[in-house]
Amino acid sequence: MERPDYIPENYNRIKVVESLTALANACFGKKTPENCFLLPRQMKGDFDGLGQALAKRSRIKDGDFYSLGLRQIKNALTLPLQEDQKLALKQIFDDMVSIEETFQGRAHSIHLRVVRGYAHSSATRFHTDGGNRLLCGYSLPVTECAKNEDVIYTGYDNKYLLKANAQPFSFAPGDMWLQEGGRFPDKKPRNEEDPQHFIHRATEPAPGNVRLLLICETKAPSLS
Ligand SMILES: [Fe+2]
């Protein structure tokens, strides 16, 4: 598959794959550079409108988010939504079912996060997650990412600072990706031997907008 132009050129930590099966079969290893496998996709439907409808129904406030599991998404399919919003919701439901089937017991806690903001979370700072995750941002702004060489470890809480003049990047709405996570000990200075997990941060939706983000904890096989 052609490498999308919105990811850094000649950056071997991100590998583009062609199918969900390829994502499920992806391996992270100490001897291989990848810390992210990306499945570029184009979706149809009104994800922004769906986000607004779900947020309105749940009455979440600006700066907050909540999560819906597979059963709740299935129930939501009966809501009186506009056709293009229903189409968007059906694709999210299909994604969840396909992930469960394809990952065969290695996908856990699959949910859709409905986001009006991250006022109570430090996820908007560059960080690594504690474990491997499968994600899809259905609406803008999608998660922001940084190359490992573009950040400096703060020394605590798996948080990183972007170097001056470094450019973060984002995937496109609908893209699905598997990212490598892992804890890094607090107060330990960063050096060349550090784990090179995937660096990213949550993005705040514009005021009044709602982000829809699929999140799934995975046990991706690791090569030693
Ligand atoms: Fe994260």
Q: What is the Cα–Cα distance from 64 to 61, expressed in whole angstroms?
A: 6
DSSP code for 204 = P
Residue 121 CA to ligand 1 center (angstroms) comes to 11
Residue 125 CA to ligand 1 center (angstroms) comes to 9
pLDDT of residue 208: 85
**Residues measured by CB to lie within 5 Å of ligand 1, the ion:** 129
What pTM was estimated for this model as a whole?
A: 0.93
Q: What is the Cα–Cα distance from 55 to 58, expressed in whole angstroms?
A: 5
Low-confidence ranges of the chain (pLDDT < 70): 183-195, 220-224
pLDDT of residue 224: 47
Decide: helix, strand or coil at residue 124. coil
Residue 79 CA to ligand 1 center (angstroms) comes to 30
Domain 14-223 has CATH 2.60.120: yes
Cα atoms in the 13 Å half-sphere on the side-chain side of 138: 32
Two structure tokens written together for 168: 């973060």
Q: What is the Cα–Cα distance from 195 to 209, expressed in whole angstroms?
A: 35
Q: What is the Cα–Cα distance from 137 to 65, expressed in whole angstroms?
A: 14
Parse the chain into domains and list their residue ranges: 14-223
Two structure tokens written together for 41: 């996709």
Residue 161 CA to ligand 1 center (angstroms) comes to 14
CA–CA distances in Å: residue 194 to residues 92, 115, 183, 198, 219: 36, 32, 11, 12, 21
